[in-house]
Amino acid sequence: MQLFTGISELVVNDLDRLGELDVIADAALLVDDGRVIWSGPSAQADTALAAHEDQIGTAGLNDDDIANGEVTSANELGGLETIDLGGKAVIPGFVDSHNHLIFAGDRSEEFAARMAGQKYSAGGIATTVAATRAATETELEANLVHLLDQAKRQGTTTFEIKSGYGLTVPDEIQALDIINRHTEESTLIAAHVVPPEFKDEPERYVDLVIDEIIPAAEGKAKWIDVFCETGAFTEDQTRRIIEAGKAVGMKPRLHANQLTEGGALKLGAELGCVSVDHATFASDEDLEILAEAGTVVTLLPSIEFSTRQPYPDARRYVDAGVSLAIASDCNPGSGFSNSMPFVIAIGVRDMHFTVEQAVWAATAGGANALQRTDVGHLGAGARADLAILDAPSYRHLAYRPGVQLVERVYSGGELIVDNRSRD
C-alpha cells in the first residue's frame, strides 16, 4: 500500500464532466494493489488510513515516521509506503488514444520539404510502407519499445497503437502481434492508404482488406479504423470496411476530415464510431450530429503543427457539446512527436483550449475515446497511473512548453520512470 502526501494539486477528474478538471489542493492519494483506494484533502488522510487499518497495520502517521522527507520503509509501517512529494502536482497518466508506432524508416527529409513550402497530401505514407515491409519483426518491435519508453518519460501510461504500414495480410498481422505484446488497445488500420501494387485497382485492395485481412485479424484487433479522405478511401469504401470489422467484433473509429470538409464525420456518427479523429474541418452541422451521437472527437494538435494545416478552434467543439480528446498521433510523416505535454501546449496556444480543457482531454478525454473507465482519472477504483510534475500546478504543462516537467511516472502503482536520476 502507498500513501502519497505533500501534493500541491491533485487532478482527480470525472470522466462524465466534459472538459472540467476536479482539482484538490493540498492533497493525498492512497493506493493498494495498483488501484486508487482514496484521494482527497491531506487533512483527511489519517481517517482514510484508519478505514483500512486491517490492511496497513497502522491507523495514522506522524512526521517522525517519514524518513528524510521521502519514503518510509514499508516494513516499519506494517506494509505502508509513504511518499512525500514535497509540494508537487500530480495528474493522471496521459491516455494517448491515437498513434502509429509500428513502422520503420525516416521521413525527416519530407518534413524539411514541407517546412520549405511543399504541401502535405499524405502521399509519403507509401515511403513508410516500403521501409516497414523491409524491416524484421525484431527491428519493428525495438523501434516501438524505444518510442514507448520516450512517451512514458513524458507521462503517458495508456497507449492505443495502430497497424497500417504493412498493408498485406502477413505484415498487418505481424504488426498486431507486436502491438498486443505492449497494449490491449490494438487497432487494425489496413485501410490506411492504397498500397502501390493496387494503385490502379483500389477496389481490389478494399476487397483484400474485407475478405482476407479483417478475417485474419479477428481476435487480434480491438479496434477497426479507416482513413476516410480524398486520396485515401471513399465514404462507400469506408462504410464497407468498418461494417466488416464490426461483424467480427472490432469496435469502430475513424480518421476523418483531416484534409477536406467531406462527409466522413457524419459517416462516423452514423456507423457508431467511438471516436472520429483529426476533424480539422468540421461544419456546425457535423458538430451537432457528433454531439447528439455521443461520438468523441479526438483532435491532434501536433499534426497541424507539423503540416501547417489550419488549427481547428476547440471552442466551437466545446460550445457544440462535443466530447473532446487530444492525442499525439505520433507517426513518422505528418507529426513525429510522442509528447503529450507538447500537444497540450499547442492545444492551448493554437486551438484555444483552456488549460483545464486540454489536460482533461489528454487524460479523461482519451479514456472516453477508448471506452475505458479505469484510466484517465484518479478516483477510487482507478488504476494508479499517475504523473508527478516537477511543478506546483498542472498549469505549468502549458505555461512552460518544451521543459521536462514530468518527474516521476507510476503505472498500476509501480514506479516506471524517474527522471530525477542523473548519471
Q: Is 100 annotated as a binding residue?
A: yes
Q: Is 98 annotated as a binding residue?
A: yes
Q: Is 311 annotated as a binding residue?
A: no
Task: Please give the Cα distance from 365 to 104 (Å, whole number).
Answer: 29
Closest CA to 270 of 242, 236, 293: 293
Q: Report in angstroms the alpha-carbon separations of 363 from 20, 90, 219.
A: 11, 12, 27
Q: Is 352 annotated as a binding residue?
A: no
Q: Is 377 annotated as a binding residue?
A: no
Q: Is 62 annotated as a binding residue?
A: no
Q: Is 192 annotated as a binding residue?
A: yes
Q: Is 165 annotated as a binding residue?
A: yes
Name the burial class of residue 4, with classes exposed (0-12), middle (13-18) and buried (19+) by CB atoms within 10 angstroms of its CB.
buried
Q: Is 258 annotated as a binding residue?
A: yes
Closest CA to 210 of 244, 176, 178, 237: 244
Query: For 33-92, where are the alpha helices, taking DSSP H only?
Result: 45-51, 53-56
Single-letter amino acid, residue 353: F
Is there a contact between 27 and 41 (Cβ–Cβ < 8 Å)?
yes
3-state secondary structure of 263: coil
Name the burial class of residue 126, with classes exposed (0-12), middle (13-18) and buried (19+) by CB atoms within 10 angstroms of its CB.
middle
Mark the binding-site residues, compressed into ranges.
Answer: 98, 100, 107, 165, 192, 255, 258, 329, 331, 333-334
Mark the binding-site residues for N-formimidoyl-L-glutamate, compressed into ranges.
Answer: 165, 331, 333
Mark the binding-site residues for Zn(2+), compressed into ranges.
Answer: 98, 100, 255, 329
Mark the binding-site residues for Fe(3+), compressed into ranges.
Answer: 98, 100, 255, 329
Mark the binding-site residues for 4-imidazolone-5-propanoate, compressed into ranges.
Answer: 107, 165, 192, 258, 334
